[in-house]
C-alpha cells in the first residue's frame, strides 16, 4: 500500500507518492518530476492532488513536492492543509444522510421503493459531492455552487412534509459548512495570503 522509507509508491490519487519515516515523523513525498505542471501548492491541481492523499494517509508531519528542486511544507502550512482536509471530510460526511431511511422509515419497503428521493436535486448524495468537487476547483466555484443551492432550496415547493424536513436538514448542514468555511477562509488569508502559501516552506 504505502512505502515507508521510500520503498514503494502509491498511485491512484492523481499523484504518485511515498512516505518516508524519520523517527516519529512521517514525511509525505509527492513525486512531481513527471508532472506537466510546476509543483506548488499555489496551483489548484497540485493542491488537490496533495489533499486527496492527505485524506487517505494519517499522521503526516510534512509534505515534500519532489522535483528537480524539492519544496517542503511544514508548521502552519501543514496545519492549514490538515484543516482543508477536515473541511473536505465534513462535506463528505453530510452525503451519508439517507432521506428514505431517515424521513420515510415508517413506510413498508415496497412503498419506499416508489419514492423519488434518488432523483431529487436536493438529495444529500447530490448536493454535497457537488460542493466538494467545486471546492476542489477553487474558492469562486465553491461559493457560486453554495449560493446557487441555497437559492434553489428557497424557491422550491414540496409535495411531502418529509421533503421539507429533509431540505431543512440540508440547510442546517449548509449553515454549519458556511461557518466552517468562513473560519477556514480567515485562516487561509492569515497564513498564506491570496497568492502565496506562505513562509512555511523550504526549497532544497
Residue pLDDT, tens place only, 58-81: 999 999 999 888 899 999 889 999
Predicted pLDDT at 64: 95
In percent, how much of the chain has pLDDT > 70? Answer: 87
Number of Cβ atoms within 10 Å of the Cβ of 126: 15
Cβ neighbours of residue 50 under 8 Å, at least 6 residues apart?
Answer: 15, 28, 30, 41, 63, 65, 81
Residue pLDDT, tens place only, 171-203: 999 999 999 999 998 888 776 554 454 445 555
Assessment of whether the complete model's pTM goes beyond 0.95:
no
d(C-alpha 130, C-alpha 4), whole Å: 34
Question: In sequence order, what are the beta bridge partners of 38?
Answer: none
Q: Mark out the alpha helices in 95-138 (DSSP H runs).
A: 99-103, 109-112, 124-137
Residue pLDDT, tens place only, 2-31: 223 333 344 434 789 999 998 889 999 999
Predicted pLDDT at 33: 87
CB 122 within 8 A of CB 95: no
Amino acid at each position: 500500500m504505502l512505502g515507508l522509507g521510500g520503498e514503494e509508491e502509491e498511485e491512484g490519487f492523481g499523484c504518485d507518492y511515498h512516505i518516508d519515516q524519520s523517527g516519529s515523523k512521517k514525511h509525505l513525498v509527492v513525486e512531481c518530476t513527471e508532472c506537466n505542471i510546476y509543483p506548488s501548492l499555489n496551483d489548484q491541481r497540485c493542491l488537490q492532488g496533495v489533499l486527496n492523499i492527505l485524506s487517505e494517509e494519517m499522521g503526516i508531519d510534512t509534505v515534500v513536492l519532489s522535483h528537480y528542486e524539492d519544496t517542503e511544507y511544514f508548521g502552519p502550512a501543514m496545519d492549514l492543509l490538515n484543516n482543508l482536509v477536515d473541511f473536505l471530510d465534513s462535506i463528505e460526511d453530510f452525503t451519508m444522510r439517507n432521506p428514505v431511511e431517515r424521513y420515510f422509515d415508517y413506510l413498508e419497503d415496497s412503498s419506499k421503493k416508489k419514492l423519488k428521493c434518488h432523483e431529487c436535486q436536493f438529495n444529500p448524495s447530490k448536493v454535497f459531492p457537488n460542493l466538494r468537487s467545486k471546492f476542489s476547483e477553487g474558492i469562486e466555484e465553491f461559493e457560486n455552487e453554495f449560493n446557487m443551492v441555497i437559492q434553489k432550496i428557497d424557491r422550491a415547493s414540496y409535495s411531502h412534509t418529509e421533503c421539507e424536513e429533509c431540505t431543512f436538514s440540508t440547510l442546517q448542514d449548509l449553515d454549519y459548512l458556511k461557518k466552517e468555511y468562513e473560519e477556514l477562509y480567515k485562516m487561509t488569508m492569515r497564513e498564506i495570503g491570496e497568492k502565496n502559501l506562505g513562509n512555511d516552506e523550504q526549497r532544497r
